[in-house]
Structure 1
Amino acid sequence: MTATLLILAIVVITALAFDFTNGFHDTANAMATSIATGALKPFTAVAISAALNLVGAFLSVNVAATVAKGIVNLDSYNLSSATDGENLLIVVFTGLIGGIFWNLFTWLLGLPSSSSHALFGGLIGAAFAAMGTGGVAWSSIMGKIIVPALASPVIAALVSATATALVYWVTNTIPDKTKNEHFRHGQIVTACLVSLAHGAGDAQKTMGVIFLALVAAGEAVSDQRIPTWVIVACAVTIAAGTLSGGWRVIRTLGKGLVEIESPQGMAAEATSAAIILTSAAGGMALSTTHVSTGSIMGTGIGKKGAEVRWGVAMRMVSAWLITIPCAAAVGFASWWVATGVSAATTTTVGVIVDFIILIAMAVIMVIRARMNPVDASNVNDEWDADAESVDSSLEPKTPAAVANEGAVATAAAASTINDPASPAPQAKNL
């Protein structure tokens, strides 16, 4: 096996790893509201979502073409040159590292950040590091990524708020119990549509990246169709990632943003499915996360008396705003690590060093997540009104919270002193 083929193999494995994180990170977009309202049991929900993500991935390749040709400026590379092809492979690889890092970090916090924008950010940072401003297809990024990123959550929120208000107005004479029961059935249908839409949009983004790597390695030409094996591999991988759950993000969207009822859930999911499927058909790389989160927020606005937790919402928006820059910074740094090591040895060694660093980062974040696990057994527990993420231990404590903890500890100590049945304190060995 030549060095180029070895690097290509590592890039494909890394791309499928990103696809897997995309699956478990974005399961919440389709199933969070159905799980929160009890329309579907947690494991049933993720199993259905996984199957429909698999099906959705085969619906179209329009978004894949956008990713393959609309992020990195291929005109900056002489693809008949082995050196330029290898450089493009490293750009794709290090861009994927930026996307995976941001996916795992926001999953740890339970924040529904965009996997798509994490990938785009990583690729932008790596392409910029390799070729400067000329390495990035800025006009395509502005029209097909930045503008939709800003507009989609606002449009989704407005449509969802209108749909929610209309639903409650039409059904205002129906008892809540009866109404919720009927809308739970409708939720199952709309949640399935969102899962189908996610597969149709997000799996293709990884297809586009792998195709870009094949072009860089000389194994494909830029105007040919996405190979069938790439479509199948990405479809199966995103389905497997979805099946793994992604419970931390599901909890935030289902319980942390709005206390949601079945009519709201159906309105949110119907809105999300309509917007995402329409954009996928047009080749627009829309963020499923932005659309779904905007739709859920809209249900809190559209239902009279509903409460939107604006602290959680603002935390999400902050994550959205910094997703592309942060992922780009990681992609940029990863490119310099790979090429810096390569300067003293070979390109293959630089890629392997970056790959090891990526694995180490992933292991650290998974271990940290296990310290405060979220799974099917506690995903629907009541949300702490003062918390802004699923892992409050990672949040800075306010002075009031610190004072409250001190008061609780003082009261507990006083209780122990005043209780004659309490054991005497033990001396500690220093």
Structure 2
Amino acid sequence: MTISLIVVVVIVTALLFDFTNGFHDTANAMATSIATGALKPRVAVLIAGVLNLVGAFLSVEVAKTISSGLVDEAKISPIVIFAGLVGAIMWNLLTWLLGLPSSSSHALFGGLIGATMVAAGTGAVHFGVLLTKVVLPAVISPVLAGVVALIATYVAYRATAKSDQGTVSRGFKIGQIVSASMVALAHGTNDAQKTMGVITLTLITAGVLSPDAGPPFWVILSAGLAIALGTYIGGWRIIQTLGKRVSDIQTPQGFAAETASTAVILASSHLGFSLSTTQVATGAIFGAGAGKRLASVQWGVAGQMAIAWIVTLPAAAVVGAVAAWAASTGTVGTVVVAVVGVAVAAGIYAASRRRPVTADTVNDVPSAEPAPVAA
């Protein structure tokens, strides 16, 4: 069966979302290692990119949750998926501009849900799956990762209290290289699958694949490559937020945060829970910060992140719904959605150039706020 032009457009748009997911979420794996000096910024994003690609081949359970669980594929079309992806990409770019580690996953789910509700009604959304596979993990996972990281940090400092601190720091730096790499691998396992699921869902709605089909090899490969490339580009703005604006992270805390994140993400991927790796990593970093000294955590930044987390899904849903409404008017409407999306993306990029954050400046604390209190 031939693939229509709109299906090709949706696949390309899905891979663009995957690319934004990569640079938006690079911080999940590498922010603490870059902040502590365990890895140089460019080396860190290269390692993360390669391991994201490898991780994409380890599981397809999350992809199946999206392709055959979240919405009724029989009631939507590729245009609906296109509209949902536009909503997700716009939210990813906006939060990247603001340096907020919001959830790319929830942006994707919100965009798809909003577009589906406009096109096919609320009955086409499987709210039971949304609750058990998305909402509950979103609530539980960052708290769980934070608690694990807090306990691990406390134990690490108690266990090494009488040791030479220079030796301890060097040892944990080596450990961070391993733990950060594991987070990157876990991120590829969980997040690359989301784009695989969207592309597979598109092929199912177009009649190219049978219902309940898994992602073909070329889908797995292309999704892995897209997220790996985005990761290598480096989401420096969000890396700066997690590495320097949350807490004055030191090597034992970084190791604890990364290890906690890896454990939670890999367990969830195995169970098919499409959680937010951003929320897991952020929760772990806050837990690690609090594990040494409560005052060293910037709780005001935590409040900003919490608001972004709460708003992400409904905000992306609104954009997805508007895009679906416009695209439903026909070819002209779909073209308008695409043109407006490109224009907004260009505007956000232009705005980011006013205060650029690069690999050379990523460890600088923004001058508009005080540095975190050292523990």
Do both share a fold (TM > 0.5)?
yes
**1:200 maps to amino acid:** T
Q: Check if 1:286 corresponds to 2:285.
A: no
How far off its partner does 1:349 sit? 3.0
C-alpha spacing 1:128/1:374, structure 2 compared with 1 (3 Å): same
1:41-56 pair list within 5 angstroms: 41-56=40-55
Question: Which amino acid is the alignment partner of residue 304 of structure 2?
Answer: R
Question: What does residue 184 of structure 2 align with?
Answer: 195
Question: Please, which of 333, 340, 355 is the counterpart of residue 350 of structure 1?
Answer: 333
Is the aligned partner of 1:102 residue 2:91?
A: yes
Determine the C-alpha separation between the residues in 1 that align with 2:7 and 2:338.
Answer: 13
- 8 Å contact from structure 2 (residues 73, 201) kept in 1: no
Compare relative contact order (CA 8 Å, sep 6+) and give the higher one, 1 or 2: 2
1:305 offset after TM fit, Å?
A: 6.0
Partner of 2:198: 209
Q: 2:23·2:235 contact (CA, 8 Å) conserved in 1?
A: yes
Structure 1 SS opposite 2:57: coil
Does 2:299 correspond to 1:310? yes
Q: 1:387 to 1:72 in 2, by over 3 A?
A: farther
Of 378-387 and 123-132, more deviation after overlay is shown by 378-387
Shift of 1:225: 2.6
- Per the TM alignment, residue 385 of structure 1 is displaced from its structure 2 partner at its CA by 6.6
Question: Which residue does 1:24 correspond to in 2?
Answer: 23
* Corresponding residue number in structure 2 for 1:235: 224
Supply the distance in 2 between the matched residues of 1:6 and 1:58 (Cα, whole angstroms): 28
The amino acid of 2:67's aligned partner reads: A
Distance 2:164 2:139 in 1: 38
* Equivalent AA in structure 1 for residue 338 of structure 2: F
Report the alpha carbon displacement of residue 175 of structure 1 after superposing the two structures with TM: 2.7
Within the candidate set 137, 153, 164, 1:175 is matched to 164
Match of 2:72 in 1: 73
Residue 367 of structure 1 aligns with which residue?
A: 350
What residue in structure 2 maps to residue 382 of structure 1? 365
Kept in 2, the 8 Å contact 1:165–1:302? The answer is yes
Contact 1:36 1:260 in 2 (8 A): yes
**What is the identity, as a one-letter code, of the residue corresponding to 2:314?**
P
Question: SS at the partner of 1:376?
Answer: coil
| Contact 1:156/1:275 (<8 A) preserved | yes
Task: Give the Å deviation of 1:352.
Answer: 2.0
Contact in 1 for aligned 2:64/2:212 (Cα 8 Å) = no
Is the CA contact (8 Å cut-off) linking 1:7 and 1:351 kept in structure 2? Answer: no
Kindly report the root-mean-square deviation, in angstroms, between the aligned alpha carbons of the 2 structures.
1.5
> How many aligned positions are there?
371
2: CA distance, partners of 1:304 / 1:180 = 18
Cross-structure match for 1:224: 213
Larger Rg: 1
Which one of the candidate residues 141, 146, 154 is aligned to 2:143?
154
Partner of residue 328, structure 1: 317
| Structure 1 alignment gaps of length 5 or more | 78-86, 343-347, 389-430
User: Percent of pairs identical after alignment?
Assistant: 53
CA contact (8 A) 1:56 1:197 kept: yes
Are the counterparts in 2 of residues 259 and 306 from structure 1 also a CA contact under 8 Å?
no
The residue that corresponds to 2:14 in the other structure is: 15
2:58 matched residue in structure 1: 59
Corresponding position: 1:129 with 2:118:
yes
Partners of 1:305 and 1:312 in 2: CA distance: 14
Cα separation, 2, equivalents of 1:151 and 1:257: 20
- Of 246-255 and 171-180, more deviation after overlay is shown by 171-180
TM (normalized to structure 1)?
A: 0.84
| Whole-angstrom CA distance in 1 between matches of 2:216 and 2:140 | 33
Secondary structure in 1 matching 2:39:
coil
Q: Structure 2: which 5+ residue stretches go unaligned?
A: none
Please list every run of at least 4 consecutive aligned residues from structure 1 whose deviation after the TM superposition is greater than 4 angstroms.
Answer: none
User: Partners in 2 of 1:88 and 1:218 — Cα distance?
Assistant: 10
Q: Do the aligned residues in 2 keep the contact of 1:158 with 1:298 (CA within 8 Å)?
A: yes
TM-score scaled by length of structure 2: 0.96
Give, in whole Å, the separation in 1 of the partners of 2:338 and 2:245: 35
Q: Tell me the distance in 2 between the aligned counterparts of 1:102 and 1:152.
A: 22
CA distance in 2, matches of 1:349, 1:8: 16
Distance 1:122 1:387 in 2: 36
Q: For 1:301-347, what per-residue CA distance to the aligned partner results, in whole angstroms no more than 9, with x for missing partners?
A: 1103651101111000100000000000000010111113x2xxxxx
1:383: how far off? 4.1
